Structure 1
Amino acid sequence: MYSSVITVRTGSMPTVRDITGEAAEFVSGHGDGLLHVFVPHATAGIAIIETGAGSDEDLLLALDAALPADDRWRHRHGSPGHGRDHVLPAFVAPYATLPVVGGKIALGTWQSICLVDPNGDNPTRQVRFSFLAG
């Protein structure tokens, strides 16, 4: 298995950050296998979605509707409503595994690999790419 970690700056506001380019660069030239993408943080996830047509903003709105940033959460350190950020990985898993064929990720036409980070308290994230040859 081949593995590498990248650092992604997500900033101080909830964001959906497309990391498809970084993932494609990582698997380039590695032939067939599986790409595993993992974010080792308790308040972030990985989503396979369309970006650039509003779906990324829609995802953040949907998460806000399902997980409001208010005082209902028992987990209370950090910014107000931060407890919801710790529930996020139950809705948006911290990992995704994708097929790689001929050194290219086998995504659909409109699919992108995205880091979902609702937590403005941590402006940088680590993402681990792992490749298992097949």
Structure 2
Amino acid sequence: MPIVNQLIKIPTQEGINIHNITPQIQDCIASTSIQNGQALIFSRHTTTALAINENEERLLEDIKVFLRKLAPESDRYLHNDLHLRVVPEDEPMNAHSHLMAMMLSTSEVIPIVDGKLALGTWQSVLFFELDGPRQRTVFVQISGE
């Protein structure tokens, strides 16, 4: 069974932003000969996440509001005591971003049928930036026949 590994690069903006990466994943699949199998999508950062949901503008705004309520940036977090640990000079106070990421997922596995992701009508693969701006990467592993 062939296995193909690829990276998707995502430049992100400040704060919480949500990117529909379904087209990029489909491009990864199209670049292989695999017609049936699965795609593993993995977020390679501790302040980013993945989810499958509807890519609708107002819903995406609702999700951002919901995440900010779960882990408000203004709350007090021990991780933000940067003076008590060794960190790079540009280390942000981002405990809230780590906590938001824990409420989502770091990976998704999606079936591939006839060379396409077997997503439902309104489903998209969404990449969540929770601590931007950054240059991010998503690992895609495609396997099958």
TM-score calculated relative to the size of structure 2:
0.84
Q: Deviations over 1:60-113 (max 9, x none)?
A: 111001111123211114444x10111223211111111110110011111110
1:40 aligns with 2:44: yes
Q: CA deviation at 1:52?
A: 2.6
Pairing of 1:74-85 with structure 2 (within 5 A): 74-76=78-80, 77=82, 78-80=91-93, 82-85=94-97
Following superposition, which runs of at least 4 residues in structure 1 exceed 2 angstroms of deviation?
77-80
Contact between 2:41 and 2:139, CA under 8 Å: does it hold in 1?
A: yes
Conserved in 2, the CA contact under 8 Å of 1:49 and 1:55?
no
1:24 alignment counterpart? 26
Hey, what does 2:127 align to over in structure 1?
115
Structure 1 residues not aligned, in runs of 5+: none
- Matching of residue 56 in structure 1 with residue 60 in structure 2: yes
Structure 1 residue identity aligned to 2:74: D
Q: Which runs of 5+ in 2 are unaligned?
A: 83-90
Q: Are the equivalent residues in 1 in contact too, given 2:37–2:111 (CA < 8 A)? A: yes
TM-score by length of 1: 0.90
Aligned length: 132
Q: 2:104 aligns with which of 88, 92, 100?
A: 92
| SS in structure 1 of the partner of residue 78 of structure 2 | coil
1:10 shift after superposition? 1.1
- Pair member with larger Rg: 2
